[in-house]
Amino acid sequence: MVTPVLPIRGTELMGAVTEDGADSGQSESDHQPLAGIAPGLPLMPTDEASKNSIESFATLLPQSRKAPTEIDQLKGLAIAKLSAREYPAAIDALRRVLNLNPDSPAAHGNLALALWRSKAAAQAEVHCRRAIALNPKYVPAYRIFAELLRQRDAPVAIASYRQLLALDPENFMAHNNIGLLLGKLGRRGEADAAFTRALGISPGNPEIRFNQLMMRQNESGLTEAIECCRRSLDVRPDSPDVLTNLGVVLQFAGHLEEAMARPSCCMPSKV
């Protein structure tokens, strides 16, 4: 049985980040260059509709020797462009920020975010590594870094998520993503435990529960899996990932007519 996996869009593919590692919770819906563990688990809420404005990084570059007005203008420009998803312009502004202050974890973190969303994974990784080197407790950078790593090396990505959990133990996204990666490696018992930990932090989360049910590949869980998809659609009615997974699970459960009534979501996404 092909196992669909519902992307969790839930906490934190951060928006603009601040020097202390805080982020705005800005979510991402359309641009998921890395967004999907199988097929698309972004750092949560990475693909939720972008309803929250990106907060300004008020503490960004406070130590700069340049004129405050120049720094403030660059910060404002970068924030505005990130919020508008105008990533090339955001990248340009953030590179200019780094020309003024090359040792800012926040500037490197925001640049990594913009590069990630521009599908420039290799460059994003460089800036994630730099942000972490400058501040080893910089949580937002670990969020992106783990997703970058999972593209090519699931065990290393799991290790990175665990580093994130050491800094942010209540991060249910990280537990969920570890579960997906462990399932991909065939370590189903450990994966199930990771999903259970995620649900302990985010009780009733339909997308985490869907992932757990589908990883188990137990036909008795299909009815609940369908209900999980429908609950997710109440929040994200146009999500292509949720629609795809609903179509697949309906087919598994034998509801072929209903599945075929959803032509855009009848085939599972590639892992």
Q: Which domains does the chain have, with CATH numbers?
A: 68-265 (1.25.40.10)
Low-confidence stretches of the chain (pLDDT beneath 70)? 1-68, 262-271
pLDDT at 65: 53
Evaluate whether 57 touches 79 at the Cβ level (below 8 Å). yes
pLDDT at 76: 85
What single-letter amino acid sits at 46? T
Evaluate whether 180 touches 211 at the Cβ level (below 8 Å). yes
pLDDT at 4: 53
Question: 89-104 in b/e burial notation, b at 16+ Cβ within 10 A?
Answer: bbbbbbebbbebbeeb
Evaluate whether 25 touches 52 at the Cβ level (below 8 Å). yes
pLDDT at 205: 94
- Residue closest to 7 by CA, chosen among 165, 150, 163, 124: 150
| pLDDT tens-place string over residues 151-204 | 788 999 999 999 999 999 999 999 999 999 999 999 999 999 999 999 999 999
pLDDT at 31: 29
Upstream peptide bond of 4 is cis (omega within 30 degrees of 0)? no
**Residues 6+ positions from 17 with CB-CB distance below 8 Å:** 23, 24, 57, 106, 109, 110, 113, 140
